[in-house]
Amino acid sequence: MNFIEISIGEKLKQADPELDVTGSDHSVLEVACRDFINYLKVHWNLVGKEANQCDIIEKLETLLREDPKELDEFLAVWCNLWFNKWKQRVKLLLGNQGVNQWNQMAKAISEAEPFWRRIEQKQELQEIVIATLIRNGEVCGTEILAENLLKIELGDKRVQYLKDRERIFVALNNTLRKAREMAHSRGPLIFVKVDKGYYNTTLE
């Protein structure tokens, strides 16, 4: 774990002492770290620039050396904001709960999968949508939301028969509009299907 993962893990534990960020809840930490990096790309105007990951690490290491207190305070504020969003945006589906909504989303995403695999500019498209989500106040699950929104729009029957470049352009415009609307909405956006047996086991 690098120093950012350790710091974010500590802040999340402060927000909820029951979180096991090095064990069963490690995926929460992984999502938070990716969201933090995505936030910094937008905050430091690095979206779409080559080697932006290296630039971010370099800037963070400089900040850690020169003003560790400022970095720690910034992380504390961001992690608190992120965790509040996590509680608002993520919903666990037990057994058959929400099965219709789940199936509709899964079908739309799977229909776009073959075309999505052929697209060479996947990362660039995702970064544009992620930046739109973040600039509109959405900081949680940005990578997951961006990819799924793009796939849903690319799988829409109304764009499936367009030429590849036109299909991407139309789907991206639709995705950006939906991303702005989504960021201003309330309630869960990320649905995680969990087997009831998991909870029966952990509660015994």
Dihedral angle sign, alpha carbons of residues 171, 173, 176, 178:
negative
User: 182 and 149 in contact (C-beta within 8 Å)?
Assistant: yes
Put simply, whether the predicted model's pTM sits higher than 0.75 gets the answer yes
**DSSP class of residue 186?**
-
pLDDT values of the chain reduced to their tens digit, one per residue, 204 residues: 588 999 999 999 999 999 999 898 999 999 999 999 999 999 999 888 776 788 898 899 999 999 999 999 999 999 999 999 999 998 866 655 555 666 777 888 888 999 999 999 999 999 999 999 999 999 999 999 999 999 999 988 889 889 999 999 999 999 999 999 999 998 888 877 655 443 333 322
